[in-house]
Structure 1
Amino acid sequence: MENLLYEKVNENIGILKINRAKYMNSLNKETLNELDIFLDEIEKDKNLHVLIISGEGEKAFVAGADIKQMKAMNCVEAMRFSKLGNKVFKKIENLQKVVIGAINGYCLGGGLELALACDIRIGNEKSKFAQPEVGLGIIPGFGATQRLSNVVGISKAKEMIYTGDMIGSKEALRIGILNKIEEDPIKESIEMANKIIKKAPIAVKQAKKAINFAYNKNLCTDYEVECFSTCFSTTDQKEGMSAFDEKRKANFLNK
């Protein structure tokens, strides 16, 4: 696969990296399709108990969805893109393995949505988090309108999504996005994985299923997909993404 790197630490632990460091590991359709196929394959590996997800390079875990690719999308194309992202992240959330996000650097937009689909998240001092989509004339489209409030509470989720403000690792730890801050998130993730694989594997799987059952009771990503795609019929989306591409401030008031 062109956009993913995968290696096994041992037969029970694997590390998956988004391999688009040149583009801050942003998620395009091709990467999401590769992830979709990869997750189906990894589910068949009965020896694998823990999957660690990270980003290639030191700058970014995932710095969002690919805005250059999204810029020209119409409502129908945006709906397909949102459905694909939600489908892939639901697979991560419900994978019959423990999934640990090793957050190295920027974790923005679709990157934070990917991290929220993981069971556990470990960052470092350089980790930065945001849902900046409203600055582009759209809303989060890969699950954040649903999952973020489950993690940080509805008021904090609204604040992060409405303002698009970026927060650092200490604030992310305080509000529950991060479980830990460590110098080397992948090394710490491997150490945690080694603790997990020593426990009864069936019990761990059943615990994940039971926790997710309650957690996902009110999850409604289908409605998010509808709201996300509607944004692509607006002048706000055209202005927001054009401004990003042209490296200028968006002017929504006069549109």
Structure 2
Amino acid sequence: MNDTVRYEIDGGVATITVDRPDKLNALNVETLHALRDALDTAAEDEARVLVITGAGEKAFVAGADISHMKDLGPSEAHEYATLGHDLIEAIESFPAPVIAAINGYAFGGGAEIALGCDMRVASERAIIGQTEIDLGIIPGWGGTQRLPRLVGDEVARRLIYFGDRVDASDANELGLVGEVVAHDELYDRVDDLAAELASQPAFALAAAKEAINQSHEGPQAAGLAFERRTWTSLFGTHDQREGMEAFLADREPDFE
């Protein structure tokens, strides 16, 4: 871990906080590695519950690091996709329930981290979206596979095709988050849920999680592999370069 990620554990509840509030907690390579290290530490500590959130008042995780992605070629993009996939698969397979405390923006890779969690609790200020289409790419860390399972096929297609950003209330209606609370009550509510889960039989919870995950394993593995290849192939295209350059320059992209 490093100064981009904070880790703490109390009463069997581990909390991982992405701590780059000046960058809206965007995920650069360093932070991805630090998150994976924090997950490993939580597993070694035998955490009974894991909470993932973002520092500051604005963002959970606003996405991947576009300034890093902008000039990637397919080979480098594949390596970056693999980092994201490995992280979120580790969250999904973590041997205890994982709660996403979504305190603000959760876009792109940030939304995909939330999708990898067992439960999602959103502040009323949260805004969630698979916004990759605006950058000339697609979700590359599992969004094309996990989102349809959560909200249904057509809803997922609309969210991904249009890059829609949905507020917390709409996200709850769509089934994208389990509940919405007042912003200043978010962490109290998550603490209550985590404490209740931590009091449950740990082995039974781990078994329940593994059994539920198993129901998705077959087709998801093939789908994730396809997504990674497809995401990778978009790097080096005009639309990928233009989308990311336009984002960094704060202008509208001119796609082909």
Task: Give the CA deviation at 1:187.
Answer: 1.6
Which position in structure 2 is the counterpart of 1:53?
A: 52
Contact 1:106 1:127 in 2 (8 A): yes
1:99-155: CA deviation from partner (whole Å, max 9, x where unpaired): 000000101110000000000000011000111111111111111011000100111
Which position in structure 2 is the counterpart of 1:16?
A: 16
In the alignment, the residues of structure 2 paired with residue 142 and residue 15 of structure 1 have an alpha-carbon distance, to the nearest angstrom, of: 22
For residue 239 of structure 1, the aligned residue among 237, 242, 246 is 242
Which position in structure 1 is the counterpart of 2:188?
A: 187
In the alignment, the residues of structure 2 paired with residue 144 and residue 14 of structure 1 have an alpha-carbon distance, to the nearest angstrom, of: 25
Which position in structure 2 is the counterpart of 1:5?
A: 6
Structure 2: tracts of 5 or more residues without a match = none
Task: Give the CA deviation at 1:246.
Answer: 1.1
CA RMSD of aligned residues (A): 1.0
1:186-219: CA deviation from partner (whole Å, max 9, x where unpaired): 2211100111122211111100010010033321
Which position in structure 1 is the counterpart of 2:97?
A: 98
Task: Give the CA deviation at 1:171.
Answer: 0.9
Q: TM-score, normalised by structure 1?
A: 0.96
Contact 2:13 2:48 in 1 (8 A): yes
Task: Give the CA deviation at 1:176.
Answer: 1.0
Which position in structure 2 is the counterpart of 1:72?
A: 71
Contact 1:54 1:186 in 2 (8 A): no
In the alignment, the residues of structure 1 paired with residue 7 and residue 45 of structure 2 have an alpha-carbon distance, to the nearest angstrom, of: 13
Secondary structure in 2 aligned to 1:217?
helix
Which position in structure 2 is the counterpart of 1:215?
A: 216
In the alignment, the residues of structure 2 paired with residue 69 and residue 198 of structure 1 have an alpha-carbon distance, to the nearest angstrom, of: 42
Contact 1:127 1:168 in 2 (8 A): yes
In the alignment, the residues of structure 2 paired with residue 41 and residue 16 of structure 1 have an alpha-carbon distance, to the nearest angstrom, of: 10
In the alignment, the residues of structure 2 paired with residue 114 and residue 131 of structure 1 have an alpha-carbon distance, to the nearest angstrom, of: 11
Which position in structure 2 is the counterpart of 1:172?
A: 171
2:141 counterpart letter in structure 1:
F
2:65 counterpart letter in structure 1:
D
1:187 counterpart letter in structure 2:
D
Secondary structure in 2 aligned to 1:96?
coil
In the alignment, the residues of structure 1 paired with residue 91 and residue 112 of structure 2 have an alpha-carbon distance, to the nearest angstrom, of: 11
Q: TM-score, normalised by structure 2?
A: 0.96
In the alignment, the residues of structure 2 paired with residue 191 and residue 216 of structure 1 have an alpha-carbon distance, to the nearest angstrom, of: 31
Q: Which consecutive segments of 4 or more residues in structure 1 shift more than 4 A?
A: none
- Return 216-225 or 50-59, whichever deviates more: 216-225
Which position in structure 2 is the counterpart of 1:38?
A: 38
Contact 2:42 2:50 in 1 (8 A): no
Task: Give the CA deviation at 1:41.
Answer: 2.2
Superposition pairs for residues 104-115 of structure 1, below 5 Å?
A: 104-115=103-114
The percentage of counterpart residues that share the same residue type is: 37
For the pair 1:145 / 2:148, whether they are aligned, the reply is no
Contact 1:123 1:181 in 2 (8 A): yes
1:211 counterpart letter in structure 2:
I
Contact 2:73 2:235 in 1 (8 A): yes
In the alignment, the residues of structure 2 paired with residue 11 and residue 199 of structure 1 have an alpha-carbon distance, to the nearest angstrom, of: 13
Contact 2:60 2:110 in 1 (8 A): yes
In the alignment, the residues of structure 2 paired with residue 102 and residue 94 of structure 1 have an alpha-carbon distance, to the nearest angstrom, of: 18
Structure 1: tracts of 5 or more residues without a match = none
- Return 229-238 or 212-221, whichever deviates more: 212-221
Aligned length, in residue pairs: 251
1:49-90: CA deviation from partner (whole Å, max 9, x where unpaired): 001100000100000101011111111111100011001100
In the alignment, the residues of structure 2 paired with residue 2 and residue 138 of structure 1 have an alpha-carbon distance, to the nearest angstrom, of: 30
In the alignment, the residues of structure 1 paired with residue 196 and residue 43 of structure 2 have an alpha-carbon distance, to the nearest angstrom, of: 21
In the alignment, the residues of structure 2 paired with residue 157 and residue 234 of structure 1 have an alpha-carbon distance, to the nearest angstrom, of: 24
In the alignment, the residues of structure 2 paired with residue 56 and residue 180 of structure 1 have an alpha-carbon distance, to the nearest angstrom, of: 20
